[in-house]
Every structure is written in structure tokens, then in C-alpha cells.
Structure 1
Amino acid sequence: MDFNSALSGLKATSSELSVISNNIANVSTNGFKSSRTEFADIYANSNGGGGKTAIGSGVLLSAVTQQFGQGQISFTDNNLDLAISGKGFFIMSNNGSIAYSRAGSFGVDKNGYIVNNTDQRLRGFLADNLGNITGAQTDLQISTATLAPKPSSAVNVNVNLDATSEPPTAPFVAGFTPVLPPDPSTYNSSTSTTIYDSLGNSHIMTSYFVKAHAENTWRVYVGIDGSDVTPVPNTPPVGVPPMPYPTGELAQPYTLVFNTSGGYIVNNPATPATYYGPGPVTSTTSGLVNSGSLQPLNLNDLTLNSVAITASSSTSDGSSTTDNGASSIALAAAINQNTASHGVTASVNPNVLDLGIATFGNLAAGDFSINGVPIIGVNANETDLLNLINAQTATTGVVGTQPGGAGTSIILTANDSRNIQLITDGTQATGANFANFNLNGGVALNQAQRGTINLVTNSNQGIIVGGPNPGHAGLVSGPQSGIVQTSSDPIDISNWTPAGGAFGPQQVSLNFNNSTQYGAPFSVLALSQNGYSTGLLAGVNVDSSGVLFAKYNNGQSLALGQVALANFGNVQGLSPQGNTSWVETFSSGSALIGAPGTAELGTIQSGALESSNVELTDELVELIVAQRNFQANAQSIKTADAVTQTIINLR
């Protein structure tokens, strides 16, 4: 029995030496998993059992198990070299025969399939023509076909428009062409980007930004390859003004509207642009004519029909004793410059001021003053008011008359060449209309006041906002006119057909939702569009989730598929097949297939390989131990031989 036990030890140790040697031999094999010998002792038992004096019969090699611990990941220069960080196996196909491997050294065969060194194909999930990963499994293939162009359909524009900008002095001329481009003096700023047609041809789209007269409002004109593609505005709606434009109709060239915080106001179909009728209907009647409601105005910030009016300090009559920059001439010039937008015409009359008041009521101190002199009276009708005004002529220098006779408007004349300064507290006396021109506590008529003029449609004829020495400014308008818009237009180009045979008309939408209007210089923060030209394959890459991307020379990427990984309930049950591959067995269970990074599956590292998980130092130590074990078992045979020889020599 001594010989048998020692012989079994030699056999077992020899197997251990073989396993260790195999581990050491594959220390540089990518994806290799080391093996470990496992032993069991042997007892020869009788039918009745071994009893307390049973002696073992040696050792038995019970199993050689592989250790599937993670190997070190080293980086390479090949994007198709793949390493699994964590659990899982690559799925390899050989004409339908499936094997599993951790070795990720891959290349491409003549048909574009991703293969390993033994021409087994890497399996994964199929991607459709748009790059969407489907659940269908297939052999992964890299297509070298040309990437078809994609026509641009959406452009995102993120700009800041300078809130301090003034409307250009010259109007922007629509219908520009490459031969007759827009005059730079007619727009505030511009930006360009490249878009593509259905054939992959590139085109330059340019947006021209024009500060509108209405506050926080800009016009946008769009040109492609130098030609204007901005649609012609729709004709005004028919009906009694104000009339809203039908939803989707363009009231004026593309309009961007911002709120008082500088944020972009997106289109709201529930509040379309409103049309206030034709105009202006100009009158030469001098003086003040009632205009509905006159709210306080900021100096040099007069607003008519949503159009901001700014009086230039360079335009002045030079004789105003209060504010030359806002003189009647300056205001009239500024207003008339934008008459087409707001429908109001200003005129300057050097002689008279028409109060537009037929009857009046009680006047207490502070209710009404002319040139600082209070006009006070009880139960004053227009005749009483006329007498009260003329009673103070020696002090005020102002004469009141009623050229039309009793019951008509009172005309004030500054006969001593002084400004006519009217002061009112805005009190609505019986029969009076002073609330219609509230001068808010003593501001000369040659100054615009704080607030906004609100013209109502039922009594909208005219207003006066100036009165320098020696007269006043009479602002006369017809019915309220123009277009009021409170939200931005959708900017959709639908009338452009590219040259050269490309599909047309091509639809292109511009999105300004992230644009702003702050008090900072014009700046382009972001420009992007969704089209591209024809692309040739320039390379491939695999991300951590195993998605295989083709990179094209037009800057685009397209998913071609996704690497699939497999895991098993018992990886020790896998059967090794050589070439660093395994096949499933009944003991391993069926493969659990999924995408990298899901469930318990690891992630993919592109341009890297998993090295052998053999720890060389440990194997060398084990080799020494196995060698000593072999020598010890050999010594046991030698000792048993000596004992046997002694017994033989007894005779």
C-alpha cells in the first residue's frame, strides 16, 4: 500500500505541475483564465466500513477548475480591441456554432465582419438605418457604404441681441440678392451658418437682426446663399379694427419679442398679432385734440402704438428754455420718421395750443395752472374758464380764445413768446377732460412725460406732447394704425428650392428659444443644425455600453450595432475549447445575454485588451511546492523499497 499511496501522490503532483506549467505558459495570452488543481484523498472501505484503524490509499485529482477573475486591462492602438471590465463573455459565431471568449483582439474580414484570430464572428444587437439599436442578434458588420446626406430641417440659434440698440435710421430693404446685398446701415447685426440640401450640397444661411421701433422687439430677415427667403407678410385681416391675424399668418417680417427681463417670448397662438387698421389720416388742425387716455411718459421715451419714439438732442429749435433735446421740432421729427410704423403724424404750430375742452367744472388750487399761475373757479363752464385764463394773461402771457364760438374748444396763444406750461393733478372735474392729458405736476409741454400713451380706438384723433418757445407741437393722427405683437413668430422657411437639382421646396425651421436681449453687445452663443453632407467611413469606435459607432469624414457618427455579452449561472461549468474560448454545458446553464453595463454584465473598454489573470509570482511559488511534493512522494517509494528489501534479506 505504501507504493500505491506514493504512486498516486506522484500522479497527482505531476498533474499539478502540468496545470501550473500551462498557467505559466499562458501568462501572456489575452483573455486566458488560470486553472487550479483540486485533490481528494482515497480510502479503501470494506462492506462493514473502515473502522478506526482504516488507512488511506493515497490521493486523487478530483478537478481542474478555471479561475474567472478579472485580468489586468492594457491599452492598445486598435479601436476594435475590446476588453470586458467585469462579468461576461464575448459571443463568437463560427458558421452558427456559438462559443464564448474573454479575448477581445478583433479585426475586420474582407466582408466587413468583426472577427477574432480564428475568424469567429463577434455577435451583437442589430441597428437600423437610423442607428437605433434593436433587440435582434446578428454578426456585427462594419459597412463601408457612403453615408447618405441629410437635408437640414432645423437650425438652433442662440444669440444675445443688444437691448441698448437703436432702430437703424434707414429701413431694411426686403428682396435682397447676391448682386444687391443688404446695406449694413439697415440692420443691427447678423450671423451665418451652413445648411445642407438633399444632395449634400452646402449653403450659407444668414440671419439679419433689425431692432424694431416697438420696445423689446426685433425683426429677422433670412437669406440663403445671399438671396432673401423671408416670406412676404400676409395681407391685413378684413373687418373693423382691431382685428387679430388668423393663426399661423405672418403679420410682418419675422418678429422676435422679448420680455422685460430679456427672455425670449415663444409664440403663443392664442395671442396673434393684432391689426389696428390703415393710416395715417393726416390733419393740419393745430393744437390738442382729445385722444382717449394719455398716461405719464418717460422723457425721450415716448411710445405710440407700441412704437418707441426717441427725440434726438441734435434736432432742436434752440429756443426752448426747458429742454432743447425734447423740443417740439425734435419730437415732431422723431415721430414723423416712424409714421409708417405707428400711424401718427406730428405738426408744429408756433402760435396756438388747443385745450380741446368744451365744458369744465370746479377748479381748486393745484387742479390746473398755466405757466405756474393757478386757474381757480367754481362751476366754471367753457366761458368761465376762458375768462379765468384771460384774467391772468398779464402774469402768464397766455391768451385764451374760442374761434368757433361758445361750446367749442379753447385755444391758448403764447402772445409774449414764452412757453406754455400746463400743470394739472389729473383730477376729472365735472364735464372736463383733463385726465386725457395728465402733465403730472408741472412739466413743460416741450418735455415728454413718464409713461406710455395709450391710444383707444373710439376717440383716437390726436395728441400734443411738445410746447417750446414760442409755440407747441401738435401731434395729429388718424384712427389707430399699425400692428401690435406680444409673442414671437415661428420662423419657418418654406419657400426655398436649392439650385442644382436638390429636392425643393426645402423646409427649414429656426429656433430662437434660448436667445436673449440683454444690455450687452451682440454675441453668438451657439449655432447648430441637423443636416450634413455625404460621408465616407473614417473610422470606428465602441463606447462603454458596447455600441459600435462608424465615424465619417463629414463629422457624423452612426451606430452600426451593439456588442452583446453573455453570462452563466455557473461559469465553472463551461467547457474549455482552446483558443481562449468556452462552450456552454448542462452544468453551466444557458447563456444569459444582454447589453454591456446591464444586469451583472460588465462594461466595454475600446482600444484595450484584458491580459491573462495568471499571477506569475504565485505560480512560481506553487511550482516549487509541487516540485517538493513530487520529490517527497518519490522518497516515499524509495523508503518503501528499502523496507521491502530488508524483509527480503531476512532469509
Structure 2
Amino acid sequence: MSYVSLSGLSASQLDLNTTSNNIANANTFGFKESRAEFGDVYSTSIFTNAKTTPGKGVQANKVAQQFHEGSSIYTNNPLDLRVSGTGFFAVAKDRMIPQQNEMTRNGAFHLNKDNYIVNANDQYLLGYQVNKDTGEVLSYEPEPLAIPAEFGKPKQTSAIEVGANLPANGDLKDPALFDMSDPDTYNRSTSTTIYDSMGQSYKLSTYYLKDMTQPNTWNKYYSVTDSEGEKPLNIAGGDAASPTGHIGHTMKFNNDGTLAQLNGGNPILTDTFETAGINLNGADGTQVLGFDLDGATQFAAPFEITKTHQDGATTGFLTKIDFDEYGSVLGTYSNGQNVTLGRVGMVRVANEQGLDKKGGTQWDSTQFSGEKIWGESSKGSFGSINNGALEQSNIDMTQELVDLISAQRNFQANSRALEVHSQLQQNILQIR
């Protein structure tokens, strides 16, 4: 009887410990509740009568974790991630050995001093390389995810696409009077930013003048503003010249408002920046601009820029990090570049109950769980990744408190049974 009571005490203590551990981790992100599972002890031999043999007590079979999902808590940190559905994040202690990794549902990540995504234990979040143009995964070989603080080498502007509607009823101007410093001598002006070979930026201004000497004709002139001020940028072989020597080009429109072919369908080219006297601070002086103006129209509608694009860029600095539903890491940089930097890797196993608990809300695969299966968010049986949210522990505090009371009652009952057994033995020893 004493062994039976002692096994009951041990089981009740394990139940109390398990429930207490659940309650202690109520606010642990990604924590999964545990449940103590027990079995009875029953043994017989050829010399015992099975009909009259009592049980021998209780034994602990397993402390099993329950992997159902916890609720979400929303944060303002874009690096906070949660998995909705099946799957775990993979983290590695050594970024040089990503093959040695563990699994977690705790998605509280941040950037370390080297701009790698890490958790509170300085373990590296693993992901995959992607094609920066298509966003497709290049290889399912996991590696630490890094967020470059800078992106892209400077690229000088060489091609500019411009689409504009020039109003058919615009005021007529005398091209012989054009002066870019006098707004009364032209109809409209616009500006955009361009870059040289070192990534230095300049303001490119465009002036539109409706030619009073030729029907359905507009003249365009360009200038570049550097550290010294605004300077004319002439068109190489241009056919529109002002009295000041500023050379532009003409745009002739058909009677249906469409643009007649310019320069044989080739881009309109400017003189070199060096020829224009632009202060480049040592950048490439042979830089020229080529304009594609095929999108221009002359309709009876107000002046409007319908399209503008230039192919230059300066070095960009990281301004924002985001994630899409596929777990792609999206970096936004100060040069206007939006880059897919990688994709968060996801892992699952065939039998979650067979995982080895490592602490820190982390697990590792075993022969009982099966090998790790790698994949990506929202594909196959893997759940989706949401950023700006964390998964809370999946315990039910009300149920845990009820279980705690029940385990306490079981402990008291087994203690009482042990006390009764001791008292009976004492009474037997006092028989004379």
C-alpha cells in the first residue's frame, strides 16, 4: 500500500510541476502547453489470481506538449513574425553552420550589429536566397538572413522616358524670345532628378514652348542645376535655338494629336555634361542623356505628365523592412529601390510529439519525429507568415487553474492514504 501511495504522490507532484510550468510560461511567446500523461501499474505472475490482484500504483508515461496554435498579439515591430498554420521557424547558433539548427514558433526577431535577423538568444533566422528580379527561391539550402544597410552601386542616368499631354489650345509663344529665366517666354516647365556616375544628384528641368511660327509644333529645352546654378543642356544637332544659344528640339504632332516620329525613332541625345560645363566633382564627363518621348500627345486637354522614368540611381540606405504573405523579406531603400532580399525558411516534421524539447521555446528533430522537411510560407502544407504579430502561449489559464486544484487534491489524497498506511502499521506493532 505504501508503494501505491508513493507512486500516487510522485504522479501528483509531476502533474503539479507540469501545470505550474504552464502557468509560469503564460506570457512566453511561442510556448506550447504540456500535459502529464499517466498509466496504471499492474503486474501478475503464475502464482497470483488475476481476479483478486490489485493494481500496483501509477507511473508517468510522458509529459506531452500540445502544439495547437496560440492567439495573436499585434506589435509595431515589422520583424515580429508569427506562423498561422503548420510549420516552425529555423534558427542556428552559428551562422557558418546553418545545418545545425533548431525549430521555434517564437517569432520575436531583431537586427544585430551585422544586420542579420536574430532572436533574443542571438540565434540566426534561416531562409533562402531569391532571384531579386522574380522573387523566386533559387535554392532550398538554408542560410542566415541578412538585411544590407546599403543597396546598389551608383548608376548614371542615360535614358529618360517622358509621357506628356501638351494642350492643343495652349498659348502661342515666339521661340525667338525663349529665356529659361523668364516664365512668360514658355508655356510650362517640369523637373526630375538625375544622377551621375558617382551617384551625385542634379535637377533636370524641361521647358515646353508652343511654337507660333509652325502649326502643331512644340519646342523643348533642357537645363541641369548643379552646385553652381542652372546651366543649359543643349541637344546634339537640335533644331530649336534661342537667341541665348540654348539649343533644344521640336516636337511635331499630327492632326489627330499623336506625335510624328522623332529622330527616325531614335532617342533624342544631349551634349555631354562636360560640354555643358556641369560641375561633376570628378564624375564621368562624357555622360549624355537620351530622351524617349513616344508617349507625348497634343489633345484638347490640360497639360499633364502621364509618365516619367529615368534609369539612374544613387546608393540607397535602408529605410524600411517588410514581409509579404510568402515570407519574402522586402527592403525599401532611400534611392527608391524596393528589393526582395530573401525568403524566410520554414520547417515541419511528420510527428511533432516526437520532437526533442531544447528550452527557450525551441525543439529539435529526433528519430521519433522524423527528419526536418523544408519549405516556404503558404505553399504545400505550410502555414502563412504574418509580420507585426507574435504567437502567444497556447495555454488556457482557467483550465490550468482547475488542473492545479485537481492535482493538489490528488496529492492530498495520496498523502492521506500514506498516513493511514503508517497508522495501520503502528497499530499492528502495538498488538500484544
TM-score (norm 2): 0.77
**CA–CA distance in 1 between the matches of 2:32 and 2:219?**
66
Is 1:111 the equivalent of 2:114? yes
| Residue type of the alignment partner of 1:200 | G
**CA–CA distance in 1 between the matches of 2:176 and 2:407?**
94
Q: From 416, 419, 425, give the equivalent of 1:635.
A: 416
What is the CA distance between 1:107 and its match in structure 2? 3.3
CA contact (8 A) 2:150 2:316 kept: no
Is 1:170 the equivalent of 2:170? no
Any stretches of 5+ residues in structure 1 without a counterpart?
235-251, 266-484
**CA–CA distance in 2 between the matches of 1:218 and 1:569?**
72
Is 1:580 the equivalent of 2:351? no
Report the identity percentage: 35
What is the CA distance between 1:570 and its match in structure 2? 1.7
Q: From 367, 377, 400, give the equivalent of 1:596.
A: 377
Is 1:535 the equivalent of 2:316? yes
- Which runs of structure 2 are paired with 1:8-19 in the superposition (5 Å)? 8-19=7-18
What is the CA distance between 1:489 and its match in structure 2? 7.2
Is 1:610 the equivalent of 2:371? no
Aligned to 1:253: 250
**CA–CA distance in 2 between the matches of 1:489 and 1:587?**
72
| Residue type of the alignment partner of 1:119 | D
**CA–CA distance in 2 between the matches of 1:51 and 1:159?**
97
**CA–CA distance in 2 between the matches of 1:542 and 1:213?**
55
Q: After superposition, give the CA deviation of every residue in 1:282-328 in whole Å (9 maximum; x if it has no partner).
A: xxxxxxxxxxxxxxxxxxxxxxxxxxxxxxxxxxxxxxxxxxxxxxx
Aligned to 1:99: 102
Aligned to 1:36: 35
CA contact (8 A) 1:203 1:224 kept: no
Decide whether aligned partners of structure 1 residues 143 and 258 sit closer, same or farther in structure 2, where only a CA change above 3 A counts. farther
| Residue type of the alignment partner of 2:284 | A
Q: From 147, 164, 169, give the equivalent of 1:142.
A: 147
- Which runs of structure 2 are paired with 1:224-373 in the superposition (5 Å)? 224-225=223-224, 226-232=231-237, 253-255=250-252, 259=256
Q: After superposition, give the CA deviation of every residue in 1:33-59 in whole Å (9 maximum; x if it has no partner).
A: 111112222322446998555543332
CA contact (8 A) 2:196 2:287 kept: no
Decide whether aligned partners of structure 1 residues 594 and 255 sit closer, same or farther in structure 2, where only a CA change above 3 A counts. farther
Aligned to 1:205: 204
Aligned to 2:400: 619
SS across alignment from 1:56 = coil
Decide whether aligned partners of structure 1 residues 486 and 146 sit closer, same or farther in structure 2, where only a CA change above 3 A counts. closer
CA contact (8 A) 1:154 1:511 kept: no
Aligned to 2:349: 568
CA contact (8 A) 2:217 2:250 kept: no
Aligned to 1:124: 127
| Residue type of the alignment partner of 1:577 | K
Aligned to 1:457: none
SS across alignment from 1:594 = strand
What is the CA distance between 1:625 and its match in structure 2? 1.0
| Residue type of the alignment partner of 2:105 | R
What is the CA distance between 1:552 and its match in structure 2? 3.6
**CA–CA distance in 2 between the matches of 1:517 and 1:254?**
10
**CA–CA distance in 1 between the matches of 2:101 and 2:287?**
52
What is the CA distance between 1:16 and its match in structure 2? 1.0
SS across alignment from 2:313 = coil
Is 1:510 the equivalent of 2:285? no
Aligned to 1:90: 89
Any stretches of 5+ residues in structure 2 without a counterpart?
225-230, 240-248
**CA–CA distance in 2 between the matches of 1:169 and 1:110?**
60
| Residue type of the alignment partner of 1:67 | Q
Q: From 166, 185, 189, give the equivalent of 1:161.
A: 166
Q: How much is the aligned-residue C-alpha RMSD, in angstroms? A: 3.9
What is the CA distance between 1:19 and its match in structure 2? 0.7
**CA–CA distance in 2 between the matches of 1:229 and 1:98?**
61
SS across alignment from 1:104 = coil
| Residue type of the alignment partner of 1:117 | A
Aligned to 2:246: none
SS across alignment from 2:156 = coil
**CA–CA distance in 1 between the matches of 2:215 and 2:330?**
45
Decide whether aligned partners of structure 1 residues 638 and 507 sit closer, same or farther in structure 2, where only a CA change above 3 A counts. same
**CA–CA distance in 1 between the matches of 2:218 and 2:236?**
13
Decide whether aligned partners of structure 1 residues 41 and 517 sit closer, same or farther in structure 2, where only a CA change above 3 A counts. farther
What is the CA distance between 1:256 and its match in structure 2? 5.3
